[in-house]
Amino acid sequence: MKTHKIAPSILVADFANLQRDIEMVNQSEADWFHIDIMDGVFVPNISFGMPVLKSISQHANKFIDVHLMIVDPDRYIKNFADLGSNLLTVHYEACTHLHRTLQAIKANGMQAGVALNPHTPVNLLKDVIQDIDLVCVMSVNPGFGGQSFIENTFEKVAELKELILSKNAKTLIEIDGGVTDKNAKQLVQTGADVLVAGSFVFKSKDAKKTIKILKTLEF
Ligand code: DX5
Ligand code: ZN
């Protein structure tokens, strides 16, 4: 089986012990840090913002994957680059001029990602897929950790994989929301390259071991 990446979602970490949880991820077999930024407008929740991301960047020693759940993300592209983001994902539903936004993210030295809400079909990306480094397929409605995985995601991943291959693109497929031992293997087999995991990792007894299990897919 091809190698896939694991991106623990810091949204579900213990914010009173953030440095401890960041060190745990540093020392684990995780590949990336997944950072969820919510504005209370695009999604019905507010997570944390720039000062917190700045502190995370100072301690994290792995690739930083920032998932913006905010309206009009173009306003803050430079800020997120300055804060140490390696990949900046914006929502399809929040971008009127998506192509322009993707170019701006890359011009600021980051990889460019696009997230799709559960109701948004993958074929809407067909004219920009070659410009996208990563598509984040939301397998829950964005806004909260700990929700149940939406089964239709498998079909979307298969369709997206087909689109990527048909366009000869190098785009990675990321799955975000409700990832557990019940769906991880099938997601990777269907084409997922990056698995985001919040609750399954941080609410487990031994988070480092859970990351290893997701990485090896040996349940
Ligand atoms: C949801 C966020 C996710 C979330 C995943 O809006 O984008 O990254 O933290 O958490 P779990 O794995 O608990 O669904
Ligand atoms: Zn996310």
pLDDT at residue 95, rounded to an integer: 98
Name every residue whose Cβ is closer than 8 Å to that of residue 66 and which is 6 or more positions away in sequence: 35, 37, 53, 80, 85, 87, 88, 89
Single out the catalytic residue among 21, 31, 39, 176. Answer: 176
Rounded distance between C-alpha atoms, residue 60 and residue 21, angstroms: 10
Q: Which of 161, 104, 168, 109 is nearest to 137 (CA)?
A: 161
Share of the chain above pLDDT 70, in %: 100
Residue with tokens 């994902």: 89
Q: Measure 116 CA to ligand 1 centroid, in angstroms.
A: 14
In the predicted structure, residue 98 carries a pLDDT above the cut 60: yes
* pLDDT tens-digit series, residues 9-37: 999 999 999 999 999 999 999 999 999 99
Token pair of 133 as six digits: 């480094």
pLDDT band, very low/low/confident/very high, at 2 (cuts 50, 70, 90): confident
Q: What confidence score (pLDDT) does residue 15 get?
A: 98
Nearest CA to ligand 1 atom 9: 145
Q: Report residue 118 CA to chain centroid gap.
A: 14
> Residue 87: nearest ligand to its CA?
2
Q: Which domains does the chain have, with CATH numbers?
A: 5-9+13-216 (3.20.20.70)
pLDDT (0 to 100) of residue 219: 86
The answer to whether 74 is a known catalytic residue is: no
Q: Which residues contact 166 (CB under 8 A, 6 or more apart)?
A: none
Cα–Cα distances (Å) from 15 to 12, 18, 32, 48, in that order, read 8, 5, 18, 10
Are 9 and 214 in contact by the 8 Å Cβ rule? The answer is no
pLDDT in tens, 45-91: 999 999 999 999 999 999 999 999 999 999 999 999 999 999 999 99
pLDDT computed for residue 1 by the predictor: 55
CA dist 124 and 120 (Å) reads 8
Q: Which residues of 9-46 are buried (b: 16+ CB within 10 A; e: fewer)?
A: bbbbbeeeebeebbebbeebebbbbbbbbbbeebbeee
Measured in degrees and rounded to the nearest 5, phi and psi for residue 70 equal -140, 155
pLDDT at 139 over 70: yes
- Can 36 be counted among the known catalytic residues? yes
Atom in ligand 1 nearest the alpha carbon of residue 202 = 13
Task: Say yes or no to pLDDT of 217 above 90.
Answer: yes
pLDDT, the chain, mean: 98
State if residue 89 touches ligand 1 by the CB under 6 angstroms criterion: no
List, in sequence order, every residue forming a beta bridge with 211; answer none if it has no partner.
none
Atom 4 of ligand 1: nearest residue by CA position: 145
For a pocket test of ligand 1, which of 12, 43, 200 has the largest count of ligand atoms closer than 8 A to its C-beta?
12
Contact between 62 and 33 under an 8 Å Cβ cutoff? The reply is yes
Q: Is the CB of 140 under 6 A from ligand 1?
A: yes
CA nearest neighbour of 135 among 95, 170, 96: 170
